[in-house]
Amino acid sequence: MAHWDQRGAGRTYALNPPDTVRPTMTVDRMVADAEEVAAYLRKTYGRKRIVLVGHSWGTVLGVKLARLHPDWFDAYVGIGQGVDMPRNEALGYAATLAAAKADGNKKALADLESIAPFPDPKDPARTLANLHKERRWLMHYETHGWRAPDWHGAQVWRYSPDVTDQDMDARDEGLDLSLAAFWAPITQLNLTKENRFAVPVVFFHGRHDRTTSAQLLDAWFATVQAPSKKLVWFEDSAHMVHEEEPGKVLVHLVNDVLPLTRGK
């Protein structure tokens, strides 16, 4: 398994001057970077085809890459698949506001009402400025951790001998840089028409996910055309199925994805 620290993120961020990298951070450039990574892996490990997996923002790149190079991949696996990002953000905000009202949470209501309209279709910069406030309450009610909302799997890095405090600082700084670079184009992305694949597709999605809407994925999946397709619902997860139900992720990788790599 290969994990890619993208341009402007993680250890890649730490190795390159942010001011130099920032002007190069476009969706097209990220897709091209993904092409280079996939080509490197296929060449280095002598594989005609590999499995492509994307999570959240990575699913945007994953859909585009799988459609560009179907001969490179045994399958595409989308985890927390994004579909229609403008509608996605509006649905997430509305559901969070409704949950706060039902809960009688005055602090949440005050924060959420103060940033309306969210997202702001006329001002992506204003939406980005309010994103942390909106995400605070979306995660509280959604959440990234459905069964244990106060637990965050990112803390497992402390058990790794290969990750340092400096690496985590770079991750956080890289996230801020990436949001500044990609928020405006991400909020305009709509993949609903990009529904034809020449490779098998498998989707893992948390039933309670509002970060990437379970509702929108369900509707889009019905339109997807592919040699084979499967949607696996994680009933006890929201956006982070690989952290919330890792055992189930492993079982479905073995049972649903691994067979797609055989005999080729």
Whole-number pLDDT of residue 252: 98
Domains annotated for the chain, with CATH where assigned, are 48-84+190-261 (3.40.50.1820), 86-142 (no CATH)
Helices and strands, counts by H and E, the chain: 12, 4
Helix (H, G, I), strand (E, B) or coil at 151: coil
The string of pLDDT tens digits covering residues 18-47 is 999 999 999 999 999 999 999 999 999 999
Whole-number pLDDT of residue 140: 84
Q: What is the 3-state secondary structure (H, E, C) of 31-71?
A: HHHHHHHHHHHHHHCCCCCEEEEEECHHHHHHHHHHHHCHH
Query: What span, in angstroms and rounded, lies between the C-alpha atoms of 59 and 82?
Result: 6
Mean pLDDT across 124-132: 90
Query: Looking at beta carbons, which pairs linking 185-188 to residues 24 or more positions away fall under 8 Å?
Result: 185/26, 185/27, 186/27, 186/57, 186/60, 186/85, 187/85, 187/86, 187/89, 187/119, 187/124, 187/127, 188/85, 188/86
The string of pLDDT tens digits covering residues 139-190 is 888 755 666 655 556 677 788 898 899 999 999 999 999 999 998 888 889 9
Beta strand extents in 67-214 (DSSP E only): 73-79, 201-206
